[in-house]
């Protein structure tokens, strides 16, 4: 029996301000195209089983174009592969917080897709000698024992959740799953295959347990995903093909709907604004085929505030016009010594600590770091004013904050 495993479609994902001629957010249209390509490849492979491991939509209440795109593609899949089983579970982005709200995924039962969205279910198919334990990522769900049924030849676990210790530390705080299990509880060796969803990079948990990854760059850590994929020599986003009889396994990379370009960072220490302008221009001009219609990031380190102000903003606006999105991430020099030996220096204030933490934390690509820092400091000032009005020291108890 051959299966195809895909996950984390995130249909309806929106980012940046660029619109299509039809008025749809460009990134939403990109993700819909990525899904269509995933269905194209699935139809070409002609599996007997298609597993969709959650986060079909980016939000519990997706846009009408996202729902329509999903419905059209599932109808096309069922028409092209009428004898294939198609099973999906809800992910944390699909599952509403209250049961009376209802899950949008139930709509796709009308297309012949088996949908598991509230409680875990064991699905059995006698004609295939197949048992599937389908576990959605639903708040408050009673977690079943993750055990195969020995009465069936094939046992598959389909689960949206977080396997403890597998995801990188920088990824886990950004988008937590409600379901978190240990490797021991997973017990991958007992299953013929474990199809996982939630993490957006293709990754093996065990020899027969995999995250298929997302089909497009839709997480808050997209640039981190690019780094991971380069390090692991993964060809981008894609879907998994698996043969349950032979164990043959293949990751099929999909064509990117839009190029993402993470330019080599620039160390701007000691540079004037004109010199940094020239370094930015050289980096942009080094992109094969140019930056037009691509998503581009350039990190410039050790850039003082006055140099940022004096940059050629007309040129930066032109880069932003050409690219789908151009993000110049300027990072100021580290000027405070948090701890050291020797003579005492100025102790960092709470404002200094907040500023430094916001300067170094991981951010989504569309968040303006300077604006975030300014907002954080404004909130701190407002809190200080409230505390001062109550007669306490504004920085009382701040020594332990990091």
**What is the C-alpha to C-alpha distance for residues 14 and 25, in angstroms, rounded to an integer?**
6
> Percentage of the chain surpassing pLDDT 90?
70
SS (H, E, C) 313-377: HHHHHHHHHHCCEEEEEEECCCCCCCCCCCCCCCCCCHHHHHHHHHHHCCCCCCCCHHHHHHHHH
Q: Do β-strands 295-301 and 266-267 pair in parallel, antiparallel, or remain unpaired?
A: parallel
Q: Residue 185 belongs to what H/E stretch?
A: helix 183-186
Phi and psi at residue 326, to the nearest 5° = -125, 120
Q: Which fold has domain 2-253?
A: Purple Acid Phosphatase; chain A, domain 2 (3.60.21)
Q: What is the pLDDT of residue 171?
A: 61
Tally of CB atoms within 10 A around 255: 12
**What is the C-alpha to C-alpha distance for residues 108 and 129, in angstroms, rounded to an integer?**
25
Per-residue CA distances from 7 to 99, 158, 175 (Å): 23, 10, 15
E-strand ranges in 161-237 read 162-163, 180-181, 193-197, 203-206, 209-211
Q: What is the pLDDT of residue 164?
A: 87
* Residues near 44 by beta carbon (within 8 Å), at least 6 away in sequence: none
**What is the C-alpha to C-alpha distance for residues 74 and 110, in angstroms, rounded to an integer?**
10
Nearest to 6 by CA among 172, 237, 240, 235: 240
Angle at the Cα of 20 (from 221 to 226), degrees rounded to 5? Answer: 20
Q: What is the pLDDT of residues 101-126, one digit of tens each?
A: 678 899 999 999 999 998 999 999 99
**Do residues 42 and 239 lie in contact, with contact meaning Cβ atoms separated by under 8 Å?**
yes
Sign of CA dihedral 29, 30, 32, 33: positive
Phi and psi at residue 301, to the nearest 5° = -100, 155
**What is the C-alpha to C-alpha distance for residues 131 and 119, in angstroms, rounded to an integer?**
16
Spans in the chain with pLDDT lower than 70: 98-101, 169-179, 335-348, 362-366, 384-402
Q: What is the pLDDT of residues 344-382, one digit of tens each?
A: 555 667 777 887 788 777 666 567 777 787 788 778 777
* Residues near 232 by beta carbon (within 8 Å), at least 6 away in sequence: 201, 202, 203
Per-residue CA distances from 293 to 151, 320, 369 (Å): 54, 10, 23
The residue written with tokens 């990031």 in the block is: 297
Residues of the chain with CATH 3.60.21.10: 2-253
The residue written with tokens 């930056």 in the block is: 291
Helix, strand, or coil (residue 126)? helix
């Amino acid at each position: 029996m051959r299966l195809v495993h895909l996950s984390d479609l995130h249909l309806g994902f929106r980012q940046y301000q660029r619109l299509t001629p039809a008025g749809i957010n460009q990134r939403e249209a990109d993700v819909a195209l990525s899904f269509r390509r995933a269905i194209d490849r699935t139809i070409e492979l002609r599996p007997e089983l298609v597993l969709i491991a959650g986060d079909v939509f980016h939000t519990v209440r997706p846009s009408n174009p996202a729902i329509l795109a999903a419905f059209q593609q599932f109808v096309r899949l069922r028409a092209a592969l009428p004898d294939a089983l198609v099973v999906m579970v809800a992910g944390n982005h699909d599952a509403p917080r209250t049961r009376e709200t209802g899950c949008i995924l139930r709509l796709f039962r009308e297309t012949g897709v088996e949908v598991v969205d509230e409680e875990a279910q064991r699905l059995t198919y006698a004609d295939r000698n197949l048992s599937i334990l389908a576990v959605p990522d639903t708040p408050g769900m009673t977690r079943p024992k993750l055990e195969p049924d020995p009465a069936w030849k094939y046992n598959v676990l389909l689960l949206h959740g977080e396997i403890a210790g597998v995801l990188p530390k920088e990824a886990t705080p950004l988008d937590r799953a409600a379901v978190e299990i240990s490797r021991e509880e997973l017990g991958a060796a007992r299953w013929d295959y474990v199809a996982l969803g939630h993490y957006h990079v293709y990754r093996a948990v065990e020899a027969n347990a995999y995250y298929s990854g997302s089909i497009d760059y839709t997480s808050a850590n997209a640039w981190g995903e690019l780094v991971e994929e380069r390090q692991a020599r993964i060809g981008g986003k894609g879907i998994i093909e698996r043969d349950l009889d032979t164990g043959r396994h293949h990751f099929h990379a999909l064509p990117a709907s839009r190029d993402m370009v993470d330019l080599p960072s620039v160390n701007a220490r000691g540079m004037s604004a004109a010199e940094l302008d020239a370094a930015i221009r050289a980096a942009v001009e080094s992109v094969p085929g140019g930056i037009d219609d691509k998503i581009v990031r350039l990190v410039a380190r050790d850039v003082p505030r006055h140099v940022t102000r004096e940059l050629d903003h007309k040129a930066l606006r032109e880069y932003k016009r050409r690219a789908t999105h151009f993000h110049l991430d300027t990072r100021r020099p580290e000027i405070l010594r948090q701890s050291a030996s020797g003579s005492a220096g100025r102790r960092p204030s709470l404002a200094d600590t907040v500023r430094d933490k916001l300067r170094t934390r991981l951010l989504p690509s569309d968040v303006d770091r300077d604006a975030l820092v300014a907002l954080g400091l404004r909130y701190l000032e407002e809190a200080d004013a409230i505390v001062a009005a109550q007669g306490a020291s504004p920085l009382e108890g701040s020594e332990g904050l990091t």
